[in-house]
Amino acid sequence: MNNEYKPEKYERLNHLIGRITLPAGFILTFLPLFVLWKQFGITPEWLKLVEGIFSISVLMAPVSLVEVLTFTAMLGSGAMYMSYLTGNITNLKIPSAAMALEVCEVSPAGEEGEILSTIAIAGSVIISEIVIVAGVLLIGPLTSHLQQPVLQPAFTHILPALFGAIGAFYVLKEWKTAIAPLCVAIVLNLVGELPTALTIPLCVVVSVSVARWLYVHGFLHKKEVPVDEYAG
């Protein structure tokens, strides 16, 4: 058996598998709804369903576009397919890939970085599925205990704590790049409740623009990019 690594074949198989699994996952998402409809005759009000889909799409379409453009350079094709098939991209997949690249001292812009990101995200998928299965099995016995009033403040702060920890990881790596987007986020929060479809792209554009300006003018430490041993 020939196990020689061939970049063209690897990339071709990535896209082939991804183009099969993503539509399959999309279709299977609606399977429980189809079963409820056929078995119990439960159907939504179609006008409200269309209104709900439209309102969510208007919000999520710009965010999804920004995510694809932002994350593809870091993850590569295989990891992107897995990430969008399994979800939890920002709060699980990106930190897993970033930590793997950091520990192994590998640049994301290369074949080695792409393979490493794919392996890291595959590991995070396996672990998250194990945790989800355990949660489903334990949710019944633990529900009454988790609904205690003394625990409710903890659940209220889960998301801020999670994203705060993720943000701290990147801020500590290069704190100068965090000042501008943090200021923009604070100003937008003071202005009022603006739609996420506006605030996220705006913060991304400000973050990338200021980081590039700092880099070009020598305010950031210019690290040597590791040479990809698989290149060429």
Residues 98 and 178 in one domain: no
pLDDT at 24: 94
| Encoded amino acid at 228, one letter | D
- Helix axis angle for 7-29 and 31-40, nearest 10°, is 20
Percent of the chain, pLDDT > 90?
A: 8
157-184 mean pLDDT: 80
Residues 126 and 199 grouped into a single domain: no
Pairwise pLDDT comparison (166 vs 115), residue with the higher score: 115
Report pLDDT for 16.
92
Based on the fold, state whether residues 119 and 55 are members of the same structural domain. yes
The mean pLDDT of 98-113, rounded to a whole number, is: 82
Report yes or no on 3 lying in a domain: no
- Residue 111 and residue 203 share a domain: no
- Beta-carbon-side half-sphere exposure of residue 23 (alpha carbons within 13 Å): 5
Are 214 and 220 in contact, with CB atoms under 8 Å apart?
Answer: yes
Q: Write down the pLDDT at residue 105.
A: 83
Q: In terms of domains, do 138 and 165 share one?
A: no
- pLDDT confidence of residue 221: 65
Q: Is the pLDDT confidence value at 66 over 60? A: yes
If asked whether residues 118 and 186 sit together in one domain, one would say no
Average pLDDT of the segment spanning 41-64: 79
pLDDT of res. 3: 64
125 and 175 share one domain:
no
- pLDDT given at position 104: 87
The yes-or-no verdict on residue 226 having pLDDT over 50 is no
> Count of domains in the chain?
2
Q: What share of the chain is helix, strand, coil (3-state, %, to 5)?
A: 80, 0, 20
Q: Which of 111, 143, 175 is the last residue of a domain?
A: 143
139 and 165 assigned to the same domain: no
Q: How many CB atoms lie within 10 A of CB 171?
A: 16
**Does pLDDT of 99 surpass 50?**
yes
Instruction: State which of 109, 143, 177 marks the end of a domain.
Output: 143
Band of residue 231 on the pLDDT scale cut at 50, 70, 90: very low
Confidence of residue 229 (pLDDT cuts 50, 70, 90): very low
Owning domain of residue 47: 37-143
* 37 Cβ contact list (under 8 Å, min separation 6): 43
pLDDT band at residue 2 under the 50/70/90 scheme? low
The rounded mean pLDDT for the chain is: 81
Residue 68 has a pLDDT of 81
The reply to whether 134 and 176 lie within a common domain is no
Same domain, 70 and 116: yes
Q: Is residue 58 in some structural domain?
A: yes
Mean pLDDT across 20-32: 90
- For residue 223, the model assigns a pLDDT of 56
